Each structure stands twice: as structure tokens, then as C-alpha cells.
Structure 1
């Protein structure tokens, strides 16, 4: 589950009348509670009885419709995440390019210059992929393989950590 998926769930809950949502998926647990909602943990059995009661007594508040909408959104996010995971696991020709240092990621040689690479760019071994600024030094990061850039994981101007994946390149 990626940040965008979590962000989408937050927006959906925020726009609904639900005050509490708990999602458990493949070892990931997300609990969302609107401001003013009590801080409590419910057992699965208690959740089921509360949900049944809420559905039967709160038809006028559209809570069942909001719950169904959130359930559908979560289901879609989980399915999309599973597809992304399958693509990453199945494709052994994908090479991760990780940051060798901590610093600021720059996708182009200057603010008014074209980016070095973007999704779909064909690169050869030795081509510059980005610049990482560390301690006022500009470090060019070069491709170690020939292939196609299939994913750029860092935004221009953002901090990058040592060992953090910046690009995914599909080798031939």
C-alpha cells in the first residue's frame, strides 16, 4: 500500500460521515479517527454488532452508503496494490537505482534545463540519471545498465536517503 492509496482513503473518510475506520491488510494496520472521536480499540466482534446496529438505526444519516463507498475504495486500493506488487515480483529485468549518499535530488542540471531522464527514457550505461547535492557538492548519478526508465520515485528538490530507490530501469 503506497502513500497515494493511504491519502485517497483519508480523503474518502474525511468526505464521509464516518468518524472511525480501521483497515488491516497484509500486516499493515491503519486506524483513522476524525477529530473529536473517542480514542478506543474495538474487538472484531464488537465492531460487527455496532456496525449492524448502525446500519439498522442510521439509514437517515446515509452511513451505510458512506461505509459501502469506503469499503469499495479500500477494495480497489488493495487490488491495485496487489497488481503493482505482482508486476514488481514477476519482472526480474527491473533494476533498482539506489542513492549512494544522503542529499537533495535534482532531476535536471538546472531549474530551467530539461530533465536528465523521465519515464520512458532509454538509457545506456554511464548516462546521467540525476544529480544529488550533498554538502554543496553536485554528484552525478549514472546508470549502471542499458534499458528503459519505467519509474521515477523521487520528486525534484526532495531529500533522498542512502540506499533509497530513486529509479527503476527495465533492462533488455
Structure 2
């Protein structure tokens, strides 16, 4: 991972609503935190630094649990079901949401579109890799929650699909 990639990650995080990002790749760990939390950006490539980083992450997590101002942070373990006929499609990774394959191309799906299992709904770009997100159900798009070029978090709802009866 070169400095330019790290710099781009910092810029992307800064311009997004993302509050926490942790990247572990080969011998490098990067943790970024914002939104009123104490800022933390650290690179480590030795065992001592890694242990220090783990301690800092543990402290941040503990202070986050004690902090009552965590309403902005979604709890991805909590599943809210408003309608048994609605399936929420969540982001499987952190990245940039794209509703279409190019600037001059139409959206993959819009409200009211019928989709089948395996149809491409969007793309999420993570570390310069374009990941197609596909429907795992047959149904009709009732809501597109994410907006084109938004940063999305793991577990964040992207689409709501009304299941075929």
C-alpha cells in the first residue's frame, strides 16, 4: 500500500459520513475515526506498534460503549423488520456506492423495477475493486436507500425489495 492510496483513503473518509474505518493489509493496519471521537490514524508494521494499535482500538471501543452519543452509528447486529414482505439488501463491504456502471449509463434499478435473484443492483467500489451487488430474492424495488457515489458502511441498507407473493 503506497502513500497515495492511504491519502486517498483519508480523503474519502473525510468527505463521507463514515465514522470509523479499520483496514488491515499485509503488515499494515490503519484505523481512522471521526464524528466527535478522538481522531486516530496510525500505521504499523512491527509487532510492538501492532500491540499499541490494538490497545488504542480497544480503548476507543470502550469509550464508544460509554458514550451516549452513538445514535449516528448503526447497529448492524440489530435487525428491524417493519414488514415481513420487505427484504432489505445490505452492503456486504465498506466502499463507494454506484447506482450505475458509468456516468452516462442508466441506473441498474429504480423504484418499481422488478428484479430476479442474481440481477445486479449496484456496484460498491472498495480499494479500486468494483464489486457487483446482486439481488438474492425475486421482487420489486420499493426503496433505493443509498445515493449514487455515497460512502456506505458494512451492513448499511442499500435497497428495500418487496418479495413476490
TM-score, normalised on structure 1? 0.48
| Structure 1 residues 124 and 116: alpha-carbon distance in aligned structure 2, compared to 1, 3 A threshold | same
Aligned residues: 85
For 1:111, which of 81, 100, 103 is the aligned residue? 103
TM-score, length basis structure 2: 0.50
Change (3 A) 1:90 1:106: closer
Query: Map of 1:68-87 to 2, 5 A cutoff?
Result: none
Gaps of 5+ in 2: 1-79
C-alpha change, 1:167 and 1:90, in structure 2 (3 Å) is: closer
- CA offsets 1:74-99 (integer angstroms, 9 cap, x no match): xxxxxxxxxxxxxx855211000000
Alpha-carbon distance in 1 for matches of 2:83, 2:151: 28
Distance 1:103 1:93, change over 3 A: same
| Alpha-carbon distance, 1:124 to partner | 0.1
1:136 maps to what in 2? Answer: 128
2:159 counterpart of 1:158:
no
Q: RMSD across aligned C-alpha pairs, in angstroms?
A: 1.2
Q: Which runs of 4+ in 1 moved over 4 A?
A: none
Bigger helix share: 1
Q: How does 1:19-58 map to 2 (within 5 A)?
A: none
